[in-house]
Amino acid sequence: MKVTRAQILANGFACRCPNCGQRTLFRTGSLFSVNPTCPTCGLRIEKGEGTFLGPFVINYGVTAFGVIIPVIVLYALGKLGAAATLSLCFAAALLGPLLLYRLSWGWWLMLYYFFLPDNLPANLEGRPEDDE
Ligand SMILES: [Zn+2]
């Protein structure tokens, strides 16, 4: 079975395994504990130390560029007061990463395999070099 880039995008936005499409990125009953491998298809989700950096960068980028910088721009334009700006930035800094944690893992795997779809185990099967 060949996984297309469209399926990789759909699975990524739905926070599903990019290989099999199941909801297996996180351990059952846990909000933040990532499975080292997909229990259904065996795809390695945590590829060793430093794997968290991809989701971390996505999480940080969305929080900083999507919330904190626009709030600071509103303050600079005089649309928000200092207390409101500080409160919104503080709340975004605390809640943004928590709310985006699971999505950022799905998005990271989506980006990785969108650009390297041949690295998915489902796409490795049937490659010409496998027949040798
Ligand atoms: Zn899977």
132, part of any domain: no
| Whether 117 contacts 22, CB under 8 Å | no
Range of the domain at 38: 5-127
39 C-alpha vs ligand 1 centroid, how far in Å? Answer: 7
106, part of any domain: yes
Residues with CB in 5 Å of ion ligand 1: 17, 19-20, 38, 40-41, 43
Report the domain count for the chain: 1
13, part of any domain: yes
Dump pLDDT digits (tens) for 34-81.
999 999 999 999 888 888 899 999 999 999 999 999 999 999 999 999
| Whether 19 contacts 120, CB under 8 Å | yes
What DSSP state is assigned to residue 16? -
- Measured CA to CA, the distance from residue 23 to residue 27 in angstroms comes to 10
18 C-alpha vs ligand 1 centroid, how far in Å? Answer: 7
| Whether 37 contacts 44, CB under 8 Å | yes
Biggest CA-to-CA distance, the chain: 68
15, part of any domain: yes
Task: List the structure tokens of 80.
Answer: 């928000």
pTM over 0.85: no
